[in-house]
Amino acid sequence: MVRLRTESFAPLLQLREEFDRVYKSLFRDGGGTPAGQSKASGIYPSLNIWEEADALKVEAELPGLKADDLDLTVLGSELTIQGRITPTPEGQTVHRCERPAGDFRRVVRLPIDVEGEKIVATLNNGVLLITLPKAAGAKPQKIKVNVG
Amino acid sequence: MNTDVEKNVDKHNGNADVASIEYTRGGRYYRPRVDIVEREGDLTVLADMPGVGPDDVDVQFNDGVLTILGRVADRLPADTPYLSREYGVGDYYRSFQVSDQIDAQQISAEMANGVLTLHLPKAAAARPRKIAVAAK
End-to-end alpha carbon distance in chain A: 68
Nearest CA in chain B to A42: B12
- Chain A residues inside the 8 Å CB shell of B15: 27, 32-33, 35
pLDDT in tens, A42-72: 789 999 999 998 999 999 999 999 999 999 9
Beta-carbon separation of B113 and A40 below 8 A: no
Report ipTM (2 d.p.).
0.75
Beta-carbon separation of B14 and A38 below 8 A: yes
How far is B1 from B5, CA to CA, in rounded Å? 6
For position A142, what pLDDT does the model report? 83
Nearest CA in chain A to B57: A125
| CATH number of the domain bearing residue B48 | 2.60.40.790
pLDDT in tens, B91-121: 999 999 887 688 888 999 999 999 999 999 9
**Is residue B97 in some structural domain?**
yes
Q: Is A102 on the interface with B (CB under 8 A)?
A: no
**Is residue B15 in some structural domain?**
no
**Is residue B8 in some structural domain?**
no
Q: Is A38 on the interface with B (CB under 8 A)?
A: yes
Q: Is A16 on the interface with B (CB under 8 A)?
A: yes
Q: Which domain holds residue B69?
A: 28-78+85-126
For position B9, what pLDDT does the model report? 60
Among candidates B14, B16, B37 on the partner chain, residue whose Cβ is nearest the Cβ of A91: B37
Residue A6 three-state SS:
helix
pLDDT in tens, B51-101: 999 999 999 998 889 999 999 988 888 888 899 999 999 999 999 988 768
Residue A69 three-state SS:
helix
Provide the residue ranges of all domains of chain A, joining segments of one domain with +.
Answer: 1-36, 38-89+97-137
Among candidates B13, B46, B50 on the partner chain, residue whose Cβ is nearest the Cβ of A127: B50
How far is A108 from B106, CA to CA, in rounded Å? 46
Q: Mind telling me how many Å the CA of B85 is from chain A's nearest CA?
A: 5
**Is residue B22 in some structural domain?**
no
CB under 8 A, 24+ apart: contacts of B2-11: B2/A22, B4/B29, B4/B93, B4/B95, B5/A19, B5/A20, B5/A22, B5/A23, B5/B95, B6/A22, B6/A23, B6/A26, B7/A23, B8/A20, B8/A23, B8/B93, B8/B94, B9/B88, B10/A35, B11/B87, B11/B88, B11/B90
**Is residue B90 in some structural domain?**
yes
**Is residue B5 in some structural domain?**
no
Beta-carbon separation of A94 and B36 below 8 A: yes
How far is A44 from A106, CA to CA, in rounded Å? 7
Asked if the A38-89+97-137 domain carries CATH number 1.10.3720.10, the reply is: no
Q: Is A18 on the interface with B (CB under 8 A)?
A: yes
Tell me: pLDDT of A121 over 90: yes
Beta-carbon separation of B46 and A40 below 8 A: no
Q: Is A5 on the interface with B (CB under 8 A)?
A: no
- Chain A residues inside the 8 Å CB shell of B84: 47-49
Amino acid at the residue A145: V
Better pLDDT: A10 or A131: A131
**Is residue B21 in some structural domain?**
no
Nearest CA in chain B to A56: B83
**Total of domains in chain B:** 1
Beta-carbon separation of B35 and A96 below 8 A: yes
Nearest CA in chain A to B1: A19
Give the residue from A9, A22, A98, A112 with the most B CB atoms within 10 Å of its CB, the best one to mutate. Answer: A98
